[in-house]
Structures are given as C-alpha cells and as structure tokens.
Amino acid sequence: DAMVIQNPRYQVTQFGKPVTLSCSQTLNHNVMYWYQQKSSQAPKLLFHYYDKDFNNEADTPDNFQSRRPNTSFCFLDIRSPGLGDAAMYLCATSSGRGTGDEKLFFGSGTQLSVL
C-alpha cells in the first residue's frame, strides 16, 4: 500500500546532541509537512515543502531544519535538542495539486525523548 513511513518509531537523544528524523512516501505527493505534537496539544506545523520549495512557519525555532533531497524523502534535523523539544513528530503529505481534493496523509510519527 502506498503510504507515509517514519523512522524510527521512538528516538532517544541527549540534550544538545543533533538528531535527525526521517520520513518517506510512496504517494508521489508534491507536499511534505512536519508537525510537532506535545501532549494534549494540537499538532503544530513546523514547515512544509512544496516540491523543492521550503516554507517555514514564522514561529518555528531556528533549531529546527529540514531537507528534502528528492520527492520521496524528507528529513527533520534538530541541531541542539532541548528538553522542550521532546514531542511526537508527525510527517504528512498532500498532493498539492489544488484539485479541491486536498487531504493529509500521515505517518505513524516518531516519539522523541531528550535526556
């Protein structure tokens, strides 16, 4: 089945140690998103790529970066994780074709712990 795959499911890192979360998709979608979700809070959009065009949310900290080397893969890099960055990170895709049929397809998420 076509899907959005996130690895790993659980990630533990140390305070200040760079960490990378990965996402891949087999849907051939134009748009890939990264959301951060903390306990009992709304998924918060960090940024998204439309093809190779990177779109950062205004309130996303500089500590968070992203790369999209090709259509299928997108990475979330946290340069110096702090305790406040512990959260579930959700990757999602949408076709971006503006057909009025837009919807998000989510991965299972990566639960990040910072020690």
Partner 1 sequence: AQRVTQPEKLLSVFKGAPVELKCNYSYSGSPELFWYVQYSRQRLQLLLRHISRESIKGFTADLNKGETSFHLKKPFAQEEDSAMYYCALSGSNTGNQFYFGTGTSLTVIP
Contacting residues toward partner 1, per CB under 8 A: 4, 31, 33, 35, 40-45, 48, 50, 55, 57, 90, 92, 94, 96, 100, 102-109
Could you tell me the two tokens for 41? 């809070």
Could you tell me the two tokens for 38? 């903390």
Residue 81 or 91 with smaller CB distance to partner 1: 91
Residue 19 or 34 with smaller CB distance to partner 1: 34
Could you tell me the two tokens for 13? 């890192």
Rounded distance between C-alpha atoms, residue 25 and residue 72, angstroms? 5
Residue 17 or 38 with smaller CB distance to partner 1: 38
Q: Which residue has the tokens 């500089």?
A: 62
CB of 77 to partner 1, least distance (A): 21
